[in-house]
């Protein structure tokens, strides 16, 4: 959990740092809002490609190697942004960094799911994933101080520091047990089992075998639709799409919409902190509830709360209540996204867990790319404030229906990922 949370904090910093530095970048490079939109969206395209490709590759080369590759990608290419001098090179660097930012997510979620006790699995995953909000707040606090003293390039230079973490991860983080069995690394497997169960005493004739539901060789995308999981996989993708649509619609247009309504929100730093603090509360609280109740129905409740809270932002309220609603929106959108990742990690069998989370995340990223464009068009039509927020809230209703239709009887929790047995001799 320590290593995965640390990775997610750095990942969250790298994702948020562009938004913190963008006004200074636009002024320094002399770019217009259209070019700035391309510079930002290039990261989202990279994240979509990274989630799909590196999530799938990890089930073949091992999650630890895939995580190390992602750390190098998002650290090196985010740091390289400071050397760019025009929007095109900036966009290319952020596209390559996005591969690592998006690719690391399904792998750390799958890794945390694998090594979490079943009774607190959702809490562990969401607690780990709340590092994203910590990274966002870190970018807001540290980034502002660095930009004022050393210019916008300094915040990207600092983002290269996590690259030194990659070799440490390779040495310290254990791979998934099913991957170790498939690759014949039995001695390492014995050491891991002994840490999980201190009463276990390794014997020379111990045999570790995959369960009957576990394939002997790698994984394929087709297995996401096998064993009756096809319809539920599509519904899970729908939920990811709708959730990320809400997240990026709010992050792109909330400040603009509120300003046009006459609200004085104070500094952007305060807004970012409120949104991310709400996200942390939503993620940790949602994970806690998911470990005590059915995670599917916890998600249904959270998506419904997102639809309601976002709709209420369209009404004129005092500034204090507005910030409360913004925090509630952060809890029920960004926080819900994190709980949805935990749900996906528990839904798929171990051998296709990274693949399943990666594809769900990748499809969801198309919602993130589409949201700023769709809401931007609606804003240009000068619609009443309430209609704009209702448009952002509607995906929450769709997500409620999608999650309700997922059949959890097809999830991985019906059977163990791997079994260990002693040779009769």
> Which domains are assigned to the chain?
2-171+221-412 (1.20.1250.20), 177-218+416-422 (no CATH)
Q: Which tokens sit at 348?
A: 């798929």
Under DSSP, is residue 58 helix (H, G, I), strand (E, B) or coil? helix
The confidence score (pLDDT) of residue 36 equals 67
Closest residue by Cα to residue 29 from 87, 80, 82, 83: 87
Q: Are strands 206-210 and 418-422 parallel, antiparallel or unpaired?
A: antiparallel
CA separation for the pair 266, 405 (Å, rounded) = 42
How many CB atoms are located within 10 Å of the residue 232 CB?
A: 21
Closest residue by Cα to residue 257 from 244, 243, 271, 245: 271
**140 near 269, Cβ under 8 Å?**
yes
Q: Which tokens sit at 210?
A: 């995959």
Length of the chain: 425
Q: Which tokens sit at 50?
A: 């990274």
**Residue that the structure tokens 């760019």 belong to:** 84
CA separation for the pair 105, 72 (Å, rounded) = 14
CA separation for the pair 321, 306 (Å, rounded) = 16
Please give the C-alpha separations between residue 182 and each of 55, 58, 209, 347, in angstroms, as whole numbers: 18, 14, 9, 21
Question: Would you call 295 exposed, middle or buried from its count of C-beta atoms within 10 A (0-12, 13-18, 19+)?
Answer: buried
Q: Which tokens sit at 221?
A: 């995308």
Which pTM was predicted? Answer: 0.70
**22 near 78, Cβ under 8 Å?**
no
Q: Tens digit of pLDDT per residue, the chain (425 long)? A: 888 888 888 877 877 777 667 767 777 777 776 566 677 778 878 888 887 787 678 777 888 888 999 899 988 898 888 888 888 888 888 889 888 888 888 888 888 888 888 888 878 888 888 787 788 778 777 776 777 788 878 888 878 888 888 899 888 888 888 888 888 888 888 888 888 888 888 888 888 887 655 554 445 677 777 777 889 889 999 999 999 899 878 876 766 677 677 665 455 456 667 877 888 888 888 888 888 888 889 999 999 999 999 999 888 777 788 888 889 988 998 888 888 888 887 888 777 777 787 788 878 888 888 887 787 778 777 777 788 888 899 999 999 999 999 887 655 554 444 444 444 33
């Amino acid at each position: 959990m320590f290593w995965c949370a640390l990775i997610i904090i750095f990942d969250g910093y790298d994702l948020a740092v562009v938004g913190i530095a963008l006004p200074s970048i636009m002024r320094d490079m002399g770019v217009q809002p259209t070019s700035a939109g391309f510079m930002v969206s290039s990261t989202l395209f990279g994240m979509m490609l990274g989630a799909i490709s590196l999530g799938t590759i990890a089930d073949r080369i091992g999650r630890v190697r895939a995580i190390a590759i992602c750390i190098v990608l998002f650290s090196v290419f985010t740091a390289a942004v400071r050397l760019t001098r025009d929007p095109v090179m900036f966009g290319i660097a952020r596209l390559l960094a996005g591969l690592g930012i998006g690719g690391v997510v399904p792998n750390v979620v799958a890794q945390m799911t694998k090594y979490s006790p079943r009774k607190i699995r959702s809490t562990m995953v969401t607690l780990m994933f709340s590092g994203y909000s910590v990274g966002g707040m870190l970018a807001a606090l540290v980034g502002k101080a660095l930009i004022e003293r050393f210019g916008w390039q300094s915040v990207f230079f600092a983002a290269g520091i996590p690259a030194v973490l990659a070799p440490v991860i390779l040495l310290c983080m254990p791979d998934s047990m099913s991957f170790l069995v498939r690759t014949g690394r039995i001695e390492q497997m014995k050491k891991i089992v002994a840490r999980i169960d201190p009463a276990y005493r390794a014997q020379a004739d111990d045999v570790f075998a995959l369960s009957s539901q576990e394939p002997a060789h790698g994984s394929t995308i087709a297995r996401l639709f096998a064993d009756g999981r096809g319809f539920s996989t599509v519904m899970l993708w729908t939920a990811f799409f709708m959730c990320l649509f809400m997240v990026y619609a709010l992050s792109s247009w909330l400040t603009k919409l509120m300003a046009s309504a006459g609200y004085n929100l104070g500094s952007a730093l305060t807004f970012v902190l409120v949104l991310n603090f709400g996200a942390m509360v939503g993620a940790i609280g949602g994970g806690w509830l998911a470990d005590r109740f059915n995670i599917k129905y916890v998600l249904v409740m959270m998506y419904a709360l997102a639809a309601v809270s976002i709709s209420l932002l369209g009404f004129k309220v005092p500034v204090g209540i507005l910030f409360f609603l913004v925090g509630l929106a952060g809890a029920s959108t960004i926080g819900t996204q994190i709980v949805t990742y935990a749900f996906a990690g528990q839904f798929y069998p171990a051998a296709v867990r990274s693949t399943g989370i990666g594809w769900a995340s990748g499809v969801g990223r198309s919602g993130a790319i589409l949201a700023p464009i769709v809401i931007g068009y609606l804003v240009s039509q000068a619609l009443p404030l309430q209609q704009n927020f209702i448009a952002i809230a509607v995906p929450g209703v769709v997500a409620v229906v999608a999650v309700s239709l997922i059949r959890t009887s097809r999830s991985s929790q019906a059977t163990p990922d791997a079994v260990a047995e002693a040779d009769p001799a």
